[in-house]
Chain A
Amino acid sequence: MDMKVAKKKLGMKERYRALTRDLGWEPSYQSKDALFPYVKYEGIKVHDWDKWEDPFRLTMDAYWKYQAEKERKFYAIIDAHAQNNGHLNLTDARYLSALKIFLQAISPGEYAAHKGFSRAGREFPGVGTQVACQMQAIDEIRHAQTQIHAMSNYNRYYDGFHAFADARDRIWYTSVARSFFDDAMSAGPFEFMIAIGFSFEYVLTNLLFVPFMSGAAYNGDMATVTFGFSAQSDEARHMTLGLECIKFMLEQDPDNLPIVQAWIDKWFWRGFRVLGLVSTMMDYMLPKRVMSWREAWEIYGVENGGALFRDLARYGIRPPKGWDDAEKAIDHMSHQFMLGLYQWSFGTSLHSWIPPEEDMDWLSAKYPTTFDKYYRPRWEHIKKLKAAGTPFKNFGLARLCQCCQLPSVFTEPDDPTMACHRETVYKGEKYQFCSDGCKDIFEHEPEKYIQAWLPMPALFREFGGDVPAWMDWVSLRDGSDNGDYDGSRDQKHFNEWRNLATSNR
C-alpha cells in the first residue's frame, strides 16, 4: 500500500526563498571576485547577503500577470484618448510645456535607470537583491516606453516634442537630468543604489510624481494621468527596494555608516536641484493647479522625509546636510527658474510666458513671504517691456553650475537679493557653482566633475556662438518650438481646434 507523505506546506517567505535565493550558489570554478568585480572598491562591507529582506515577494508568474493587467488598462485609455482627440480636453495648451520638459529631460532618466538597474541586477552577489534590481530594470523600460507612447499623440499636433531624442543629448536644460543619471551610473553599484534607489526613488519620488500626475488630472490630460498612476504602482516596489538597500547596508557593518551618510548628503542635493524643473512645472505650467511646490514640499518633503529620517536615526543616520538650504529655497526656486526659462526662451524647445493676473494672484497667496516682494515686480517689469514692444530677451548665455548644470539663477539661502555664486580652483582651472551644496560635491570628487560636458561652453566651442547653427544642431525650430506661448502656433492651433470641437462658428 502506498503511503502518501503529506507535503510540507511552505509559508510565503520560505516559498519565495526556494524560488529565488536558493537559485544561486557559491562558485568553485571562478572566484567570487572574478564574478563580481565591482563590489569591493567603494569600501562598503557586506558580511551576509542572506540577511537581505525581500518585501513584495513577487515571483515572475505574478509579475507577468499583474503587469499585463496594468498594461491592458493603460493602452486602452491611451488609444481612446488619441481616438477622441483627447488633447482638446486640456485646460489650456500652456500645460504642454510641462510635458515637453518631461519627455526631453525626465523620460531619458527612466531609460538610464533601466540600464543602471540592469547592471546592479548583475553586479551584486546577493540573489534577493539582484532579483529586485532586475524587476526594477524591466519596470523602468516600461516607464520610458509608456511615457513616450502617452505623449506620442501630443507630438502629432503640438510643437516641442518632435526632437526629444536630439534635445536629450544636446540641449542645455536636459543636461541637468542627464548629468544626474550619468553621475549615478558612473558611480559604483552601492552608490548607484543610494543615489537612485534611495534618494531619488524614496526620498524625492513623490515630490516628482504625485503632484505632477494630479496636475495632469486637474488639467484634462488623461494620457499622463493614466501613465502616472500606472507607473506609480511599480514605484511602490522601487521605493521598498531603496529603503531595504539602505537598511541592509547600515545593518551589515557600522563602518558603512559614514560612506552612506556622505552619499545621502550628495544625492539629496543633486536630486533637489533636478527637482527645480519640477517646482517650475507645478507653480507655473499647470493652468489649473493642484497645490503649490511649497505645499507639495510640506507633505512629501518635510512630513514624509521627516518620518523617514526619524526612522533611520536608529542607525545613526541624520537628515541630509543640505536640508536647511533646500527649505530656504522652496519659496524662491520655482520663480527663479521660470524667470530664467522666460528670458532664455529663444533657446528652449518649449514655451514660457508671463503669468496672467489670476496666476500671479494665486502665486501671491501661496507664497506670501516671497512672491510679491521679490518676483511679482520682475514679472510686472517684463510685462511692461512686452507691452512697449521691447520684450525682455536675454541672448547672453547662462553661467551653468559645474555640478548640477542648472543656470546660476539662485540666490543666497539667507539673502534673496544676492545672487548665489561659488567658485573653486582645481589644477589651475576655475570652476563655478550655484550653491555650497554643489561646490561640496565637486570638491569631494573633482576628477569626476571636471569631465562634465557643459552645454553652454560647448555652444561657443563647437559653434563659435552661432545661435542659428546651434538651433539646427539641437533640432529646435525657431519660431515654433521656442519663445512665448502668447502668439505661438500651439496657442493658435489649440484655440482653433477647440473652437471647432465646441462651436459651430
Chain B
Amino acid sequence: MSTVFIALQTNEETRPIIEAIEIDNPKAVVNRQPAMVKIDAPDHLVIRRETIEEQLGRAYDLQELQINLITLSGNVYEDEDTLTLTWNS
C-alpha cells in the first residue's frame, strides 16, 4: 500500500473542493494545518468535477485546481471530468 496525497491552500475557494474529495474518497484522511490542507489516501484518490459543482453551485473546470494546489503525490491522470492520483504498488 502506498499513500497518495494532495495538498491545497486553506481558503474559501478550496472548501467545496475538499468536501467533494471527502465525499468521493471515503478512505481519505484530511489533515488541516496552518495555511494548508493535506489529504492522504491509500493508493488512489479521485477528484470529480461533478461532485465539486454540486458543492460549489456553479460550473467548474478542473484546471481551476491549479490556483490553489500546493503539491501532490502519485501518477496523475486527467480528463474533462476527473483528476486521479495513483501509485502502482
Binding site for B on A (CB under 8 A): 11-13, 55-58, 62, 66, 69-70, 205-206, 209-210, 213-214, 217-218, 225, 229, 232-233, 235-237, 239-240, 243, 303-304, 306-308, 310-311, 314
Q: In the complex, what distance in Å separates the CA atom of A310 from the CA atom of B68?
A: 29
Of the candidates A12, A217, A235, A310, the one whose C-beta lies within 8 Å of that of B2 is: A310
Q: Sample 18 A-B pairs with CB under 8 A, ordered by A number.
A: A11-B79, A12-B78, A12-B79, A56-B66, A56-B76, A66-B66, A209-B71, A210-B36, A214-B33, A229-B35, A229-B36, A232-B71, A233-B66, A240-B76, A307-B3, A310-B2, A311-B75, A311-B89
Are B70 and A210 in contact, CB atoms less than 8 angstroms apart?
yes
Given contacts A214-B33, A214-B36, A229-B36, contact A311 B68 (CB under 8 A): no
Which residues of B have CB within 8 Å of A218?
Answer: 34
Are B2 and A66 in contact, CB atoms less than 8 angstroms apart?
no
Q: In the complex, what distance in Å separates the CA atom of A205 from the CA atom of B73?
A: 11
B87 in contact (CB, < 8 A): yes
B12 in contact (CB, < 8 A): no
B55 in contact (CB, < 8 A): no
Are B78 and A56 in contact, CB atoms less than 8 angstroms apart?
yes
Which residues of B have CB within 8 Å of A11?
Answer: 79-80
Residue of B nearest to A12 (CB): B80
B45 in contact (CB, < 8 A): no
Which residues of B have CB within 8 Å of A236?
Answer: 66, 69-72
Q: In the complex, what distance in Å separates the CA atom of A303 from the CA atom of B87?
A: 12
Which residues of A have CB within 8 Å of B77?
Answer: 55
Q: In the complex, what distance in Å separates the CA atom of A210 from the CA atom of B5?
A: 13
Given contacts A217-B35, A225-B35, A229-B35, contact A306 B2 (CB under 8 A): yes
Are A58 and B63 in contact, CB atoms less than 8 angstroms apart?
yes
Q: In the complex, what distance in Å separates the CA atom of A239 from the CA atom of B5?
A: 13
Binding site for A on B (CB under 8 A): 2-5, 7, 9, 33-36, 63-64, 66-80, 87-89
Which residues of A have CB within 8 Å of B72?
Answer: 236, 239
Name 7 extra pairs, CB < 8 A, besides A56-B76, A311-B89. A58-B66, A66-B63, A70-B67, A217-B35, A232-B7, A233-B68, A308-B73
Given contacts A66-B63, A217-B35, A307-B2, contact A243 B75 (CB under 8 A): yes
Q: In the complex, what distance in Å separates the CA atom of A225 from the CA atom of B74?
A: 24
Are A210 and B71 in contact, CB atoms less than 8 angstroms apart?
yes
Q: In the complex, what distance in Å separates the CA atom of A225 from the CA atom of B10?
A: 12
Q: In the complex, what distance in Å separates the CA atom of A70 from the CA atom of B87?
A: 29
Which residues of A have CB within 8 Å of B34?
Answer: 214, 217-218
Which residues of A have CB within 8 Å of B68?
Answer: 233
Q: In the complex, what distance in Å separates the CA atom of A210 from the CA atom of B73?
A: 13
Are B69 and A232 in contact, CB atoms less than 8 angstroms apart?
yes
Q: In the complex, what distance in Å separates the CA atom of A70 from the CA atom of B66?
A: 9
Q: In the complex, what distance in Å separates the CA atom of A361 from the CA atom of B38?
A: 29
Are B67 and A66 in contact, CB atoms less than 8 angstroms apart?
yes
Q: In the complex, what distance in Å separates the CA atom of A225 from the CA atom of B70?
A: 11
Are A62 and B87 in contact, CB atoms less than 8 angstroms apart?
no
Which residues of B have CB within 8 Å of A310?
Answer: 2, 87-89
Q: Which residue among A55, A209, A217, A307 has the maximum number of chain B CB atoms within 10 Å of its CB?
A: A307
Of the candidates B70, B73, B88, the one whose C-beta lies within 8 Å of that of A229 is: B70
- A92 to chain B minimum Cβ distance, whole angstroms, is 17
Which residues of A have CB within 8 Å of B75?
Answer: 243, 311
- A77 to chain B minimum Cβ distance, whole angstroms, is 12
Which residues of B have CB within 8 Å of A308?
Answer: 73, 87
Which residues of B have CB within 8 Å of A235?
Answer: 71
Q: In the complex, what distance in Å separates the CA atom of A359 from the CA atom of B80?
A: 50
Which residues of A have CB within 8 Å of B87?
Answer: 307-308, 310-311
- A417 to chain B minimum Cβ distance, whole angstroms, is 36
Given contacts A13-B79, A55-B76, A57-B78, contact A229 B9 (CB under 8 A): yes
Are B88 and A304 in contact, CB atoms less than 8 angstroms apart?
no
- A209 to chain B minimum Cβ distance, whole angstroms, is 7
Q: In the complex, what distance in Å separates the CA atom of A69 from the CA atom of B2?
A: 34
Which residues of B have CB within 8 Å of A13?
Answer: 79
Are B88 and A311 in contact, CB atoms less than 8 angstroms apart?
yes
Given contacts A229-B70, A233-B67, A243-B75, contact A311 B2 (CB under 8 A): yes
Q: In the complex, what distance in Å separates the CA atom of A244 from the CA atom of B79?
A: 16
Given contacts A70-B67, A217-B34, A225-B35, contact A314 B76 (CB under 8 A): no
Which residues of B have CB within 8 Å of A58?
Answer: 63, 66
Residue of A nearest to B88 (CB): A311
- B31 to chain A minimum Cβ distance, whole angstroms, is 10
Which residues of B have CB within 8 Å of A217?
Answer: 34-36
Q: In the complex, what distance in Å separates the CA atom of A89 from the CA atom of B74?
A: 37
Are B70 and A233 in contact, CB atoms less than 8 angstroms apart?
yes
Are A304 and B70 in contact, CB atoms less than 8 angstroms apart?
no
The 8 tightest CB contacts between A and B, nearest first, are A307-B2, A310-B89, A55-B76, A232-B70, A217-B35, A233-B69, A217-B34, A66-B66
- B61 to chain A minimum Cβ distance, whole angstroms, is 8
Given contacts A232-B69, A307-B87, A310-B89, contact A210 B80 (CB under 8 A): no
